[in-house]
Structure 1
Amino acid sequence: MGGVQLLTVISTAFSRPQTATEIVRGIASGLKIAFRLNGATTNFLDFRQDVISETTLRTEFMNLFNIRCPPSLNNQQAAPSIVYINEFEISSPYDETFIITDMAFCGRRALTNSNEYLVNGNTLNAEYMCFAYKITTRNPIFMNFQVQIDEDPPVIEHILLTLRNDSRWHYKCINLRDMLEEYSTMYMIADLFLISRVYLDYYVPSSVMIDTVTLRDSLPIGYEEDNMIMSTDQSSTGLCRFPFFYNGQNHSSCILDEDDMPICGLTPNTKFYCQNSSIEGVRRLFPKYQLLDNSFHIAHSTMNHTIDIFFRYTACMSPSLIEVLPPTVGQAISITNASKPVDGQYSIMFNGQLYYPIPAKITESNLANLLQSFSDFGFVDVARTGECAQYSYTIQWLANGEQPLISIANSSEVKPIDAPMTVLSIRHGSTISVFYNLPNDLLRTYHTTPQVEVLVGGFPSYCSNENNNCGFQWSIDHTPTIISVEQNGIMVTIHGTGFSTELEANIILIGKNGSCDVLSVNTTLIICTIVNAPSGRQVLQLNIADKGLAASNESFIVDVPLLITSFDPTGGDAGGGYQLTIFGSGFSSNALITLGEHFCENLTVVNFTSIKCTVPPSSSMSLIRVTVTAIDGLNLATASGQFTYNSTNTPTIYAIDPTFVTILGGLLNISGTGFGSDNVSVFIDTISARVLDSSNNYILVNLSTQPPGLYSIMVRTSMGFARPLFHIEYRFYVQEVSPQVGSAYGGTDLYVQGAGFENGTRIQLRDRSNRLFPCNIVLIQSNQIHCQTASTARQVTITSNGIHPTFGFGYAWFPSRETVQQGTVVTWYWSSAELRSPVYYKIQQVANAYSTELAPNGFDSGSATSSGSFSYQFDTMGTFYYWAPNIDPSSGYSMRGVIDVVALEPEVMTVETILDKFTGKCQQAFLETRSHFHSLAQTCAFPFTFASVNYTACTSVNDTQLWCSPTSIYTGQRLYCSPTGMLIVRVEDEQNISLYRNVVTMV
């Protein structure tokens, strides 16, 4: 063979590797030839004496890309003690992601299908079973051994093995007799036993990998147990520390560095030479480059003495030129160079949305994760074929039905330049479910007339009539018609056809809620009188029982008059305060009653024919008669008689003190004359007040809690009600909120100006989704509250309750993609309590939709748990990717999700001032970190009535500022005016709510 490559000696006898010294260089005989590629050399082959086939050459060259183990592990010629061997070597498709150190212990492949046999058909006795394994699951590992003792029939033994599950390759030998005797005492008396089959238990996950299985009579040379590896792999400098970190990975045994020298770690960032190594360490030789299996082709021409070889590295690298050894007997030339690898990125258009970037050489699993991170794609399955110079991706949607075709939007960044890219539709999906609801008529017998169907929860009910007939028909001949309508006062005459001869069967509707009482009827004529209907022009409709609504060629309008026919009582004391009932017709819910110039208070419209209200007091000092008038929109009616006020011996109120209180009430002094010494009652509107003390000229009462507003004071004595009418105002309103700038993250000093504030008043902010945020009270004064705002950050919840089309419930985040504003707190909740077996979740931020590397300084929930939660506040705009890694160890599936953080938008907030059960409100809007206020303009209603006095301009009566009412009758809602008459603030009271509106913009 001539000159050979010099040996490197690694031994415990030396502190560093020793290179052998060449004494005499050999001379090649030229009889045998070997080939060398990237430092790896084939066996020498005799092309003259032996028949060298293409299969032999293929085996030799393929061995250059295998993991070569010590011969005693898997070479029966070197280790005759081996009686059975299984290396699981199979060919594979193109796959540039193939990493041989992960996929094999020796050779290129390992067992990855737990349903296959480790040993099958062995017929020889053996003392040991040796194998390499890599386990990533926490599940226990059981193996089934088919054992035959002496001449007995074979039995299956189900045995638990103690193996390391650290996701690294390990090599283990089992003393079969010791294992079986420990499992069952019957093996202690066996002379011979035969292991004919070995296979993994059915429940062992497919992620378990097995390689280099042998049955043998003695242990491999240099074999050591697991607990001896760390003492075997050592340096002369000192004790190696395991595991140690090198090139981004942890290692538990010696490894080869870039110069193919064995190293271990003694201290951080320091590597040392290994003098001795275990089988799991550096006693295996690894290929320098990875080969695409199916790319290797070889043709041998014995006539021309040529060998043509074609192969491709996984990274599309151009292979080094093959060397012929010795070089004097042959030469190698390169015929073609390797194609350049695809690289770069491109953009796609899908469902009207542009998505970028898509890496050109992305793996199938990464592309699936990337597409699933987009909002419109849903769940997909991606398969990739080809190699680094040309890829083909097949995308199958697992959900969402029919999908539009993907198009390439821009491929200018793909390399090589002008690389062609095409998209084809292989098979169209459908949004139509194979299982659909049957139409209801398919569950019924045939009929010639339409049938009535009743569905209960979407399911048709059974028709129990004869012949299953629940028919219904309609006909124009059966439809009543109205030809004309005549009105004379409240009497209405209707002409038409198809009327019922029964009075109660003819229902006449006036407007939406009114009616006309039928007096007489035949099939063509109806006479009725309008009694219960609102006043004004109203539409008339006719509904006939058992027939339905009557048809007509036009809409018929009747004019309902507003009338007062009588009232009771016809007179009373001048102090008022007692109930008056008005009878008539045409009264709607908007009707008002006046006695002279004063409105009747506490008005209740009982129905269209009667109204009840409280008689206002009269200021006249003598007997007086006033007109009773009903006002309903533009309609007005006056009673024929007048109401009489009797002023004889009427008690008189001179003054009240105070004129306003907070909504919690308090003490009220009433001074006047004629109250008497007993039987005195005081009413605030209709609510009785507690009288603490009274005399002929003085009354002291305790006011109860009331909503904000203006309330009449009614004093009832044995001589009747006192006059004139006084009002007490319950004040609780907001005039101004400042400052006009505030932070959405809280901490703003907010000042609320107004009236009626007391200890116990609370301030809170409410957004449009009714979320509440406290404003912490600093100081409360009667006209001002100082508080400090809390953060208004939104809360978003994501759960593990999503449904994956393949794995099912609990294997997808819900929602999987969420858009939030800056400052939002996202909380993830997970639980596997409802799943068949526990699933362990955790949240970790990763760089992109398919990355497995954690983002630097990214969020991380910590250790995986079967149930729990994790919260994180997103303050920075951008797209954040996260995953729950390896929740299904058998498949390696990881749950992924996306959070899109957008700029904080203006948010209308309502500042609520709460005292007891009453609330005052102020609307504001927040955006990012600062807020800007401006008031919303309102309109004064001139003239308006306050305390029975009409005002045509802003007034300061009963207040310290100019104000007006936005309604014609003051109800406790005030608009404050500037000296020029400009409206500056709005305070209103609607059903116990005082409301002040501002818009706050946060920037």
Structure 2
Amino acid sequence: MSAVPQVLTFDSWSSGVAAVREVQEVSVSSGCASHLCGSTFFSLRYGNAQTGDLRAPPPSRRPLCASETPDVLVFSPAGPVPVSASAEELQAALNNLWSIKPDSVTVTKQEDAQGSHYTVTFNSDRGLPVDVSAEDLKFALQGVPRVGQVKVEDLGTCRLPKWRVTWLTRPGAQPLMKVDDSAVIGNNVNFVVQEEVKGGLLTRGLTGDFFRVWEAEPQVEVYINGIPSNCSGRCSFRWSEEETPVVTGISPTQGSDGLRTLITITGTGFSSENASIMVGSSRCVVEEVTASSQVCRVGGASAGRYPVSVNFPSLGDARFAANRLLYFTQQLIVSSLSPTSGGVAGGTLLTVSGFGLGHIATVTVGGKDCEVVQAGDTELMCRTPAGAAGSHVVTVTVGNMSQTANATFTYDVDLTAQIWSLNPQTAFVTGDQLLIIQGSNLGGVSNDSTVFVGAKECVTAQWSKTRISCRLPVLPPGVYHVEVQVGNRGFPQARWFLLSSINTSIEYILEVYSISPLTGSLMGGTTLTVSGSGFSNDTANIQVSVGSRACEVASASENQLLCTVQSEEETHVVTNQGSHLSTFPRHPPGTKTFWTWSSAGPTYGSGYAWSPSSLRVFVGDTVRWRWEAPAFQSVGYRVFSVSSPSGSQYEGGALNSGEARTAEGFFSYRFTVPGTYYYSSGYVSASILMQGVVKVLSREDKNADVSVTVGGVVARYLPEEAPEEDEEADDEGVAAGSPRVSRSAADCVASTRCPPANQTSDSLSFSFSACSTPTVRSISPNQGSYHQLIHIQGQGFSDITCANEVSRVMGVYGRNLSSLDGV
């Protein structure tokens, strides 16, 4: 380039075009030496303004009326742009152009041997022009979620625009619209929204509940589905002291279901009917009735002191004389124990029978707690603690009542089994491994002989006096105690030839230590390397999730797995089954009680409007249009982009289902650029247009927790570093102790310049980041044959060749890509 600035002109578009994110490329080359490029310049023109020759904007952005003359453009001094300008300098220069406002641009710069390449991205937020047509405003409003169908009338002039909006499909009071006029340039610009007619609910015919009147006495009201009913007779109710029964005493005041105790309740004002008598929450069944008493048999309940209540069906609840509640005490009775002996290691299931026991009862054997496993009012079962050989007393306690059994429980050494070994002592969370227990006096197979790992049963495969084998259950990671129940003799002692104790615990291992990389593409496709311990070789048994996204497992070993993060892309369906409505209720001005109907044209009903007509989707989502003509109607449909909400002609754009209209068909499009996309069906008949809008939003950066599940069990996260050495694995394939294996990431993975997610001590996070999202700008050629060489240009590719993967001609899925640019 010479020292005389050369002007490059940007493509521009009409102010009526909807908001878009357009990308334009500018390449500048110069033969000057690098230290001389500061004196070589260029300018960029957009509309009627250019860098280096800035003009002040006209005072109004609206179109000129026929009687007006154009404003004079005023030049303001500014220098041209040097060839060596940075992206920030060019971005600032372009954002100062009045012709670009209210839009803004973002500029990035790349340099190579051919010159400097600037990428200019327009961040458009145009809204609507001040001279928007009634049809454009109508379809723009219908593109707002939950607005429904509206009618718009243009009541204004060129200098004073004015519109009336009437809601058609969402009657009722609507919130007042708000207009953002910050992007309008002019003198004393002012937008005002006024409500002409407030929407409401039309009630045709008044029902009986509208005519309820004031009553001197309380009224009984009945509601059906929340609607009050009308009383057609006498609906009054009053409370009377003369009709209230009074309880004066009870006898006896203590007893038990086991003793078949009868309670006599005396009082005044009783009716000759069976009362409902409750002792606490236990029913007392009436057996005898007189004018002044009720006799009932007490029911079962836990021992304790309970209030007595009496209710007569025809009178209601009784009150107590002097307002003093009367109480009855349920007694505690222990009648028998079974069995009366067991092993010294504890574990015998002891059955205690009696009355007044209940779920709050506790039991001790020789002063030690006997763990209650099942309880009722007349029987409870508990597992005995370990104890010294000999006889011990059994005591039952309920609340502040205690009762000692007449019989004692005897610990017998001859009934105690011995365990010498337990193998393995580590396991997979999926279970099904064989647990081997060796010892003596283990008895044989019986219904009462069971092995428990934690609280779960280990299903018996073989049981003899010296050896037990069982299949381990599925359990979450953790350490669990192994208990062997030998019949009802209790637990065995875990000793090596009675000299020292052995470990009877087993550790279930499923741990995640790290993931690599920690950041990836917003669009998915990143391959994660997950390092840990206790994974399965069966990929079908492993599920990995990153937030709400699945991570499809490709390969797995016990200590490492590889998975590909799936996309959050969705498919949205739009049909032609919406209703075309143009008839609506109107409340005539100056009236309050009458409604009329006015019509703006015919009503075509279902099949003549898109449903939904407004969609909000994200980049990467697909919209699928489906249409089918109403029966016996000769109409046809298309889908194509239009430049305004009410446009009916295809003038280029992303959407185009074809030139021909069809009575039945479908069309799909995957949106890859944020923006607002208006579309139309064209005329499906002589006078019917179907309009719609898709608003495409950018996907935002976010962090998501990584979760690994094996066999339905969630792995726990251990943030500490794994040791380098790998402990020796046992026969079952799990390393002894708590194996942690350090794994390096795959060689064919690019490094990233993006900041990783913040990690916490209780979760592992992965960042979906725009910084890690590769962008494809162009593919050349876009058609060809087998073995065709394709050039793909963009940014965010890796400088490691094998880290870039092209999985199909129509798309590049970046996996572990860096932020480098390339081809």
Which TM-score band applies after superposition, normalised by the shorter structure? 0.5 to 0.7
Aligned pairs (5 A) from 1:367-406: 367-375=137-145, 377-385=147-155, 388-389=158-159, 391-400=161-170, 401-404=172-175
Asked if the contact 1:509–1:542 (Cα under 8 Å) also holds between the matched residues in 2, the reply is no
Q: Deviations over 1:392-451 (max 9, x none)?
A: 433222132333555766489366x457876665x51432135478457999xxxx9967
Identity %: 19
Which residue does the alignment assign to 2:340?
A: 571
1:724 to 482, 493, 516: 493
CA contact (8 A) 1:934 1:1000 kept: no
Instruction: Say which is worse superposed, 479-488 or 795-804, in terms of deviation.
Output: 479-488
Distance 1:516 1:797 in 2: 63
Maintained 8 Å contact 1:798/1:813:
no
1:657 aligned to 396, 405, 423, which one? 423
Q: Distance in 2 between matches of 1:555 and 1:339?
A: 98
Indicate if the aligned counterparts of 2:254 and 2:330 stay in contact, CA closer than 8 A.
Answer: yes
Q: 1:677 to 1:608 in 2, by over 3 A?
A: closer
Give the Cα–Cα distance (whole angstroms) in 1 for the partners of residues 560 and 572 of structure 2. Answer: 35
3-state secondary structure, aligned to 2:431: coil
Question: What is the match of residue 432 of structure 1?
Answer: 201
Q: Contact conserved, 2:671 with 2:696, CA < 8 A, in 1? A: no
Residues 1:830 and 2:642 are matched in the alignment? no
Q: What is the SS of the residue equivalent to 2:538?
A: coil
Task: Specify whether residues 851 and 681 from structure 1 end up closer, same or farther in structure 2 by C-alpha distance, changes over 3 A only.
Answer: same
- Pairs within 5 Å for 1:512-531: none
CA positional deviation for 1:775: 3.1
> Does the C-alpha gap of structure 1 residues 451 and 636 become closer, same or farther in structure 2, counting only changes over 3 Å?
closer
Secondary structure of the residue aligned to 1:359 is coil
Match in the other structure for 1:159: none
Residues 487, 558 of structure 1: 8 Å contact kept: no
C-alpha spacing 1:502/1:409, structure 2 compared with 1 (3 Å) = same
C-alpha spacing 1:777/1:317, structure 2 compared with 1 (3 Å): closer
RCO higher in 1 or 2 (8 Å CA, sep ≥ 6)?
A: 2
RMSD: 5.7
Residues 824 and 541 (structure 1 numbering): CA distance in 2 closer, same or farther, change over 3 Å? Answer: farther
SS in 1 for 2:624: strand
Letter matched to residue 396 of structure 1: T
User: In structure 2, what residue type is equivalent to 1:919?
Assistant: V
Counterpart AA for 1:702: C
Aligned residues: 572
Please report how far the alpha carbon of residue 672 of structure 1 lies from its aligned counterpart in structure 2 after TM superposition. 1.9
Task: Give 1:778 shift.
Answer: 1.9
Alignment of 1:749-764 (within 5 A): 749-751=528-530, 753-755=532-534, 757=536, 759=538, 762-764=541-543
Amino acid at match of 2:679: W
Distance in 1 (alpha carbons) for counterparts of 2:562 and 2:268: 74
Task: Classify 1:616/1:317 alpha carbon distance in 2 versus 1 (closer, same or farther; 3 Å).
Answer: closer
State yes or no: 1:886 paired with 2:661: no
In 2, distance between residues paired with 1:867 and 1:856?
24
Which residue is 2:451 aligned to? Answer: 684
Alignment of structure 1 residues 49-198 onto 2, 5 Å: none
Tell whether 2:562 aligns with 1:787: yes
Aligned to 1:920: 714
Please state how far the C-alpha of 1:793 moved relative to its aligned partner.
Answer: 0.7
CA distance in 1, matches of 2:358, 2:683: 68
Q: Which residue number corresponds to residue 277 of structure 2? A: 506
Matches within 5 A, 1:779-928: 779-781=556-558, 784-793=559-568, 795=570, 797-800=572-575, 801-806=577-582, 807-820=604-617, 822=618, 825-832=621-628, 837=633, 840-847=636-643, 849-851=645-647, 858-860=654-656, 878-886=674-682, 888-899=684-695, 901=697, 903-904=699-700, 906=702, 911-915=707-711, 918-920=712-714
CA distance in 2, matches of 1:911, 1:747: 16
Question: Residue type of the partner of 2:150?
Answer: V
Kept in 2, the 8 Å contact 1:562–1:637? The answer is no
| Contact 1:767 1:907 survives alignment (8 Å) | no
Q: 2:413 aligns with which of 647, 655, 663?
A: 647
In structure 2, the CA distance between the partners of 1:674 and 1:452, relative to structure 1 (3 Å rule), is same
Matched, 1:702 2:470: yes
Shift of 1:786: 1.3
Question: Secondary structure in 2 aligned to 1:701?
Answer: strand
CA contact (8 A) 2:348 2:491 kept: no
Q: Retained in 1: the 8 A contact 2:704–2:765? A: yes
Shift of 1:368: 1.0
Task: Tell me the TM-score normalised to structure 1 length.
Answer: 0.46
CA separation in 1, counterparts of 2:184 and 2:418?
A: 95
Distance 1:713 1:384, change over 3 A: same
Distance 1:432 1:586, change over 3 A: farther
> Are the aligned partners of 1:681 and 1:688 in contact in 2 as well (CA < 8 Å)?
no
CA distance 1:711–1:736, change in 2 (3 Å): same
Larger Rg: 1
Question: Alignment partner of 1:648: what SS?
Answer: helix
State how far apart, in whole Å, the 2-side matches of 1:910 and 1:484 are: 67
For residue 672 of structure 1, the aligned residue among 426, 439, 455 is: 439
1:776 aligns with 553
**8 Å CA contact retained: 2:641, 2:680:** no
Following the alignment from structure 2 to structure 1, what is the Cα–Cα distance between the partners of residues 666 and 307?
62
In structure 2, relative to structure 1, the CA distance for the partners of 1:571 and 1:404 (3 Å cut) is closer
What's the offset of the Cα at 1:569? 0.5
- The answer to whether the aligner puts 1:738 opposite 2:502 as a matched pair is no
CA contact (8 A) 2:434 2:470 kept: yes
CA 1:675–1:414 in 2, change beyond 3 Å: closer, same or farther?
closer
What is the distance in 2 between the residues matched to 1:897 and 1:521? 79
CA deviation map 1:837-877 (0-9, x unaligned): 4765555455554455769763555576555655555565x
Aligned residue type for 1:428: V
Whether the aligned pair in 2 keeps the contact of 1:450 and 1:472 (CA below 8 Å) is yes
Q: CA-to-partner distance for each residue in 1:690-742, whole Å, 9 max, x for gaps?
A: 44363x4x21423264444746543536x955623795647254454535824
Equivalent residue for 1:580?
A: 350
- The answer as to whether partners of 1:751 and 1:785 remain within 8 angstroms in 2 is yes
Q: 1:411 to 1:627 in 2, by over 3 A?
A: closer
How far is the alpha carbon of 1:828 from its aligned partner? Answer: 3.4
Unaligned runs of 5+ in 1: 1-314, 319-336, 348-354, 924-932, 936-957, 963-983, 987-996
Change in Cα spacing, 1:757 to 1:731, as seen in structure 2 (3 Å) is: farther
Q: Distance between the aligned counterparts of 2:269 and 2:529, measured in 1?
A: 72
